[in-house]
Amino acid sequence: MSPEIRVATRTSPLARAQATSIARIVGELTGRPYSLVTVTSEGDRRSGPLAEMGGVGVFVAAVREAVLAGEADIAVHSLKDLPTAEADGLTLAAVPLRGDHRDALVIAQDDYPVDDPGSGEKLADPNVLVTGARVGTGSPRRAAQLRRLRPDVEVVGIRGNVGTRLSRVSSGDVDAVVVAMAGLQRLGLADRARPWDPKHVLPAPGQGALAIEANEGLAKVDPELSQALSRLNHGLTRASVTAERTLLAELEAGCSAPVGAWAHEDESGPESGLRLTAVVTSVDGLDEIRMTEIGSVRQPEQLGRALAARMLESGAGPAWWENSK
């Protein structure tokens, strides 16, 4: 394997920023140079709804192929874009410390006093939106939860990279957009938004986390790189996203399903545990099934399966959200 570490990623500004941050750390750990291998995914080429493109995996298939074909050594993804099943020949080599898991509301700068110390709390409250506001999002999960919070707003379907979506606000095409806070932070745009408390909008499973994939045989071919990735792995983050993604798989949900989930450390008991909260919201926002389960950090899959089983017993399967359209 080449001394240079080749890192595969998508061509979008956010994807490149995320991949560069990981490449720099791995380069420092190994003392080796790095380069980015950028590819255009199916999700980047097409502009329609994700569900019409094949849903889960449209943003990662081409990036994964670069690693499988030997064109790159590792791939960096937004973890929420990964299908819940691992790809043949690849392994999830590391999940670094999670970034901000929350969704954020972005409103035109002139619409709030940036010097007002209380503006953050006001914007975190969905009532900051005027009656009938046009709010852009391409996420069925965000759209459903937003309709439940504010049935008076008009949800506008939008796609594109973060810059494109923010430009829709600046141009006045929409009054606001909902985006991932972590993405804004990684692009240096956090001052444009105010995060939404998870009690208002639960994030997508894996949101805010990155995934580093490598060939299954990396430890034998390049033990130095394999060890560096092991050092990058963050145990609590990996346990949290594993619980969230296990629940997603058990619910048979994908990117077109209005499912939110968030797991985090729970210290309410004698031992530190993992608290997983999930919600399934009807597309019209009129109904939701929201539940919480606490389990062991050492058994995140069991936690995800347990909560999914409870939600399925209450009807929170594909038939429920599909029939609610």
Q: Of 81, 103, 175, 222, which is the active-site residue?
A: 81
Active site residue 80: yes
| Other CB atoms within 10 A of residue 104 CB | 24
What is the spatial distance between Cα 146 and Cα 201, in angstroms, rounded to a whole number? 7
- Exactly one of 141, 147, 238, 305 is catalytic; which is it? 141
284 carries an active-site annotation? no
Catalytic residue among 80, 150, 192, 238: 80
* 138 contacts 145 by C-beta, under 8 angstroms: no
**In sequence order, what are the beta bridge partners of 259?**
280
Q: Look at the alpha carbons of 317, 302, 91, 98 in this order and tell me if their dihedral is positive or negative.
A: positive
The upper half-sphere exposure of residue 203, i.e. CA atoms within 13 Å in the direction of its Cβ, equals 32
C-alpha 200/C-alpha 193 separation (Å) is 16
150 classed as catalytic: no
CB 11 within 8 A of CB 44: yes
Give yes or no: 220 in active site. no
Q: Which residue of the set 165, 186, 192, 305 is catalytic?
A: 165
Task: Name the active-site residue from 16, 46, 159, 310.
Answer: 159
Question: Is 255 one of the annotated active-site residues of the chain?
Answer: yes
Which residues are CB-contacts of 245 (< 8 A; sequence separation ≥ 6)? Answer: 82, 84, 205, 206, 304
Catalytic residue status for 142 = yes
Half-sphere exposure of 61 (CA within 13 A, CB side): 11
275 noted as active-site residue: no
Annotated active-site residue in 6, 73, 255, 275: 255
Region of residue 55 (left: phi > 0; alpha: psi -120 to 50; beta: else): left
What is the set of active-site residues? 80-81, 141-142, 159, 165, 255
